[in-house]
Amino acid sequence: MTLDPLAAYRWMRLTREVDETIRNLWLTGQGVGGTFNQRGHEAIAVGPALCLEPADVVAPMHRDLGAYLVRGMTPERLLAHQLGRETGPSRGRDANIHGCGDLDLNIIGFISHLPQSLPVAVGAAMAFKLRSEPRVAMTWTGDGGSITGLYAESLNLAALDQAPVVIIVENNQYAYSTPIEQHSANPDIAERSEALGVVAVEVDGNDIEAVHKASRKAVNRARNGGGPTVIVAETMRMLGHAIHDGFEYVPDHLLERWEARDPLTIFEQRAGEHGTTIDQLRAIDSDVAAEVKAALVVAQGSPFPDPATVTDGVWAG
């Protein structure tokens, strides 16, 4: 699958617009739950998701709004989720990115960070292999997630089974307020991953073409029986961990360096090389802004869940 540059830009712009809309809801007291900031993570979420077939499965983490969008979760539904409405994917049961799945879209709802979705994605990939289905599972985790026991156990099993899974590690330099050099004895995530038996590659996570290229290779390898790949994508979390976090602990120079490498800015700087024009990009910007504005009106007009349905979907207590 080659990358369609205008489509790639559109998905990244849509991700940013939805993210900023959610943040504004929260800042104006309308958000029901919390929200994890996405700024800087647009290329990492969108690029890999664009490499998949509809039957493939994704298990995104809390900073992969773009993957939900690419896989068909509409802005209306994502905003309804954030506003705790019945029309959201958790039917108003959760109002941040937890539980925001839809198996009809092959999106496994986010369970928790660190990295609870990883063994689920590996399990899905093992099932695909067992049933000889030509499907791939893709999941994302963070630098913090990569130092957990669950990460090592999941990679070991994936490598042992040669499971068709692609694991993207979003190295955004921080796990909550802890910088990578303070949480990892060996901050080389690719090296640590390879030691567990998987192929691991490193990529510039803010360059959608680079992320897409590495992901396409990994998806092809998985689908053709070549087993799992870890893609370590370097980026920076440009805002706090979540909306409540003022992130005063992040040094300005780091943010300044990465601001110049914003995924949308990099794309725009290369517009000529892609055969796209700035006018085309600005037209996409206004289309997307109108689309999200309309989606917000729909979401805000949607009902809250009926309290009588509160136990729906509860299977054990």
Ligand X SMILES: Cc1ncc(C[n+]2csc(CCOP(=O)(O)OP(=O)(O)O)c2C)c(N)n1
DSSP H stretches of helix in 208-277: 208-223, 252-259, 263-269, 271-274
Residue type, 5: P
Cα–Cα distance between 36 and 38 in angstroms, integer?
6
CA distance 239 to 264: 16
Q: Write the CA distances from 125 to 57, 134, 141, 220, 227, integer angstroms.
A: 9, 10, 16, 14, 10
Write out the binding residues for Mg ion, residues 175-204 only, by CB under 5 A: 175
Residues 202-241 that bind Mg ion (CB under 5 A): none
- 170 is a site residue for ligand X (CB under 6 A): yes
**Backbone phi and psi for residue 175, each to the nearest 5 degrees, phi listed first:** -115, 105
9, 68, 110, 174: residue in contact with ligand X (rule CB under 6 A): 174
176 binds ligand X (CB under 6 A): yes
Residue 145 interacting partner from ligand X, Mg ion, none (CB closer than 5 to 8 Å by kind):
ligand X
40 binds ligand X (CB under 6 A): no
Q: Shortest Cβ distance from residue 175 to Mg ion (Å)?
A: 5
The per-type count for the chain, helices as H runs and strands as E runs, is 13, 7
Give the residue among 250, 98, 79, 253 at the shortest CA–CA distance from 179: 250
Please give the residue whose beta carbon sits closest to ligand X in the complex.
Answer: 142
Q: Is 145 in the site for ligand X (CB under 6 A)?
A: yes
Distance CA 179, CA 3 (A): 33
Neighbours of 278 (CB within 10 A): 10
Q: Which does 229 bind (CB under 5 to 8 A by kind): ligand X, Mg ion, none?
A: none
Instruction: Report how many residues bind Mg ion under the rule CB under 5 A.
Output: 5
Residue from 92, 115, 142, 164 in contact with Mg ion (CB under 5 A)? 142
Retrieve residue 230's tokens: 């870890």
Q: How far is the CB of 274 from ligand X (least distance, A)?
A: 28
In terms of phi and psi (left: phi > 0; alpha: psi -120 to 50; beta: otherwise), the region of 92 is left
Region 68-87 residues binding ligand X, contact defined as CB under 6 A? none
Among 42, 56, 76, 143, binds Mg ion (CB under 5 A): 143
Quote the least distance from Cβ 171 to ligand X, whole Å. Answer: 8
Footprint (CB under 6 A) of ligand X, residues 272-291: none
Q: CB under 6 A: which stretch of 120-128, 142-150, 216-224, 228-236 binds ligand X? A: 142-150
Residue 109 in contact with ligand X, rule: CB under 6 A = no
Residues, the chain, total?
317
Map residues 81-110 to x or -, x wherever contact with Mg ion holds by CB under 5 A: ------------------------------
What's the CA gap between 18 and 74, in Å, rounded? 10
Residues that bind ligand X (CB under 6 A): 63, 112-114, 141-145, 170, 172, 174-176, 237, 241
